[in-house]
């Protein structure tokens, strides 16, 4: 049986359906545009991508084609996305997305994808009415990617100085956005606004949150004061490199990266890498790496933002170059150093004596 009831929340008209959904309409007073909205759990989300054109900021239609705006809205960079939602609405935080996916449950992505907008192998069901569409994105170097393949949504949760958390839908989206790792703020993505305070203002539905899918909540890093018992100690170490190897991530027919790397043959090298750990500004300025090619005399200095020690005893040095995320990984057990470029999709291996 399909029951309907009408409720008024301010100027918003809703209808309640068997999936405990509440649908309605929101008018953006700034430009008069109308958006579908949907209640999922205790949250009220826009069920369409934001298509507001701000007076300033970085935003674009996909492929600079204005006909794409009707279906896909605008693509905004992070700074613009943070201030573009209408009054009473906000850019969702990573915590808001965690609440959404926890409520939807395991294999949540197809349940948030609009039927008829995705390829058949995505199995889109749109059970909760979120109606995600594959609007693509614009990467940090200006290339438009993944229209018809992936959906990408900003969160408001920043990470370190140049990164931010985001979400994506689509099997072939390319792993550009995740709750597990931060995203370059210079990318342009879609915005789905959430009603400000909706999580606390609306009573719980009778449907319980699925416990099959639970994520760990991201906590914004604070500025700690490292004590003498901190596992990472101040000091300088030189590593004499005798071999290097370059590996590049492969792409499929849609130019999506596959997470499979093809490595070139190892090359003889004469390189010295100096790693200095000083912990001057915890979480933001913790060390330096200097790569000195003894043959070409080329010196590459790197300012390290953050250093971590994983359970295997490997050191992970995080830094950015031209606002792009990079990692340098020291693996003592293998006598190996790896320079990993997340957005360049390459790894450089250094083997030391």
Write down the pTM of the prediction: 0.56
Here the tokens at position 12 are 């918003």
Percent of the chain with pLDDT over 90: 57
Q: What local confidence, expressed as pLDDT, does residue 335 receive?
A: 96
Contacts 24+ apart (CB under 8 A), 63-71: 63/144, 63/147, 68/135, 68/147, 71/133, 71/135
Q: How far apart are CA 110 and CA 53, in angstroms?
A: 29
pLDDT 10s digits, 266-315: 999 999 999 999 988 876 789 999 999 999 999 999 999 889 888 889 99
* Per-residue pLDDT at 227: 73
For the chain, give the number of residues: 353
Strand 22-27 to strand 12-16: parallel, antiparallel, or no bridges (unpaired)?
Answer: antiparallel
Q: Is the pLDDT of residue 105 over 70?
A: yes
Mean pLDDT value of segment 9-15: 37
Rounded to whole angstroms, how far apart are CA atoms 321 and 298?
Answer: 17
Which residue has better confidence, 221 or 282?
282
| pLDDT reported for residue 281 | 80
> Which is more confidently placed, 103 or 342?
103
* C-alpha to C-alpha distances, 263 to 199, 246, 260, nearest whole angstrom: 48, 6, 10
Please, what are the domains in the chain?
A: 6-201 (no CATH), 235-352 (2.30.29)
How far lies 198's CA from each of 26, 84, 93, 269, in Å? 14, 18, 13, 58
Query: Using CA atoms in the order 216, 217, 220, 225, what is the torsion angle rounded to 10 degrees?
Result: -50
Tell me, what's the pLDDT at 231?
86
Confidence of residue 259 (pLDDT cuts 50, 70, 90): confident
Give the rounded distance of the alpha carbon of 89 from its chain centre: 21
Q: In which band, very low, low, confident or very high, does the pLDDT at 176 lie, cut at 50, 70 and 90?
A: low
φ, ψ at 110 (rounded to 5°): -60, -30
Residue 51 has pLDDT above 90, yes or no: yes
**What is the per-residue pLDDT for 179?**
54
Q: How confident is the model over 126-167, as pLDDT tens digits?
A: 999 999 999 999 987 788 888 999 999 999 988 766 678 889
Mean pLDDT of 120-129: 91
Q: Average pLDDT, whole number, for the chain?
A: 82
Question: 322-332, pLDDT tens digit by residue?
Answer: 767 889 999 99
Mean pLDDT of all residues in 249-258? 76
Name the residue with higher pLDDT: 258 or 264.
264
User: Residue 161: what pLDDT?
Assistant: 62
pLDDT (average), residues 170-197: 80
What pLDDT was estimated at residue 224?
55
What burial class does residue 279 get, using C-beta atoms within 10 Å of its C-beta: 0-12 exposed, 13-18 middle, 19+ buried?
A: middle
> Is 50 exceeded by the pLDDT of residue 221?
no
Look at residue 205 in the predicted model and tell me its pLDDT.
Answer: 37
Q: Residue 23: is its pLDDT beyond 80?
A: no
Q: Is the pLDDT of residue 8 over 70?
A: no
């Amino acid at each position: 049986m399909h029951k309907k009831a009408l409720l008024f929340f301010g100027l918003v008209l809703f209808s309640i359906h068997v999936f405990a959904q509440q649908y309605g309409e929101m008018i953006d007073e700034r430009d008069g545009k109308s958006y579908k909205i949907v209640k999922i759990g205790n949250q009220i989300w826009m069920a369409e991508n934001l298509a507001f054109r701000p007076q300033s900021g970085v935003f674009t239609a996909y492929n600079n084609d204005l006909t794409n705006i009707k279906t896909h809205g605008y693509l905004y960079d992070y700074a613009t996305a943070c201030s573009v939602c209408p009054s009473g609405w906000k850019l969702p935080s990573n915590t808001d997305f965690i609440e959404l996916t926890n409520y939807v449950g395991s294999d949540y992505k197809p349940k948030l994808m609009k039927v008829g907008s995705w390829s058949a192998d995505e199995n889109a069901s749109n059970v909760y009415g979120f109606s995600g569409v594959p609007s693509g994105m614009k990467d940090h170097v200006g290339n438009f990617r993944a229209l018809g393949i992936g959906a990408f949504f900003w969160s408001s949760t920043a990470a370190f100085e140049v990164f931010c958390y985001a979400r994506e839908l689509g099997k072939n989206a390319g792993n550009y956005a995740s709750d597990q790792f931060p995203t370059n703020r210079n990318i342009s993505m879609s915005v789905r606004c959430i009603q400000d305070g909706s999580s606390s203002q609306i009573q719980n539905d009778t449907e319980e949150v699925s416990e099959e899918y639970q994520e760990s909540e991201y906590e914004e890093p604070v500025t700690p004061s490292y004590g003498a018992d901190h596992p990472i100690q101040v000091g300088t170490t030189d590593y004499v490199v005798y071999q290097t190897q370059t590996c590049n991530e492969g792409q499929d027919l849609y130019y999506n990266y596959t997470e499979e790397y093809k490595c070139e043959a190892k090359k003889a090298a004469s390189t010295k890498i100096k790693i200095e750990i000083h912990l001057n500004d915890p979480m933001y300025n913790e060390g330096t790496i200097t790569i000195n090619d003894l043959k070409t005399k080329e010196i590459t200095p790197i300012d390290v933002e953050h250093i971590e020690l994983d359970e295997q005893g490997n050191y992970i040095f995080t830094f950015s170059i031209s606002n792009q995320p990079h990692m340098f990984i020291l693996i003592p057990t293998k006598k190996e150093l790896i320079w990993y470029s997340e957005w360049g999709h390459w790894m450089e291996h250094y083997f030391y004596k």
